[in-house]
Amino acid sequence: MNEPPLQTIVCVGAVVTHGDRILLVRQSKGHSLAGQWTVPWGRLDPGESPAAAALRETLEEGGIEAAVEGLLGVQVLPAPWLGWIALVYLCRHTGGTPEPRDDETDAAAYFSLDELNLLTEPVEPWTNWLVRRVFAGQFTSIGTDPSNPLRHHDTHL
């Protein structure tokens, strides 16, 4: 019997910087990543742009208003999320205090590299790898280009 093809699901993640710190959120009990610290992330809502979704997830999961600085990359997610891809954005803090605003997360905080190194709770492995690269300046962000004729006129970019 042939299995139906997987539907591609698009997710977004946000690496939000505030000075020398990066926002992390702890996933709530019942979530597949329960108890682990991650960057804010989630699925796109119907008709939502990826950049707007990243900012929405940041506000919902971390209580932080942010602005998108650029695209960090695209990640194909492993099991149990086969068929899912994530667009990951570099963002900067524009307002708010870290606090979860939905039931997907139970904590939110900014961490410096030293504070991350001292954290005794688990950090999701991909998040750990990614934020350490950002702390070390080992990344390239693709920002918007006003000369691009297909530039999206989203005010969040």
Q: Each residue of 33-82: pLDDT tens digit?
A: 899 999 999 999 999 999 999 999 999 999 999 999 999 999 998 877 78
Sorting pLDDT into bands at 50, 70 and 90, what band is 150?
A: low
> What is each CA distance from 98 to 28, 111, 154, in whole angstroms?
15, 11, 25
The whole domain housing 48 covers 15-136
Which residues, listed in sequence order, are joined to residue 71 by a DSSP beta bridge?
89, 142
**How far is it, in rounded angstroms, from Cα 13 to Cα 41?**
4
Show the tokens assigned to 149: 């004729």
89 neighbors 54 (Cβ within 8 angstroms): yes
Whole-prediction pTM value?
0.89
Q: Has residue 154 been placed in a domain?
A: no
Written as six digits, the tokens of 24 are 């992390």
How many separate domains does the chain show? Answer: 1
**Single-letter code of the amino acid located at 27:** Q
Does some domain include residue 8?
no
CB atoms within 10 A of CB 8: 8
User: Domain for residue 147, yes or no?
Assistant: no
The reply to whether 150 falls in a domain is: no
Residue 144 lies in a domain: no
- CB-based contact 62:23 (threshold 8 Å): yes
Is residue 141 in a domain? no
- Assess if residue 31 is contained within a domain: yes
Backbone angles phi, psi at 134, to 5 degrees: -65, -45
CATH of the domain at 50: 3.90.79.10
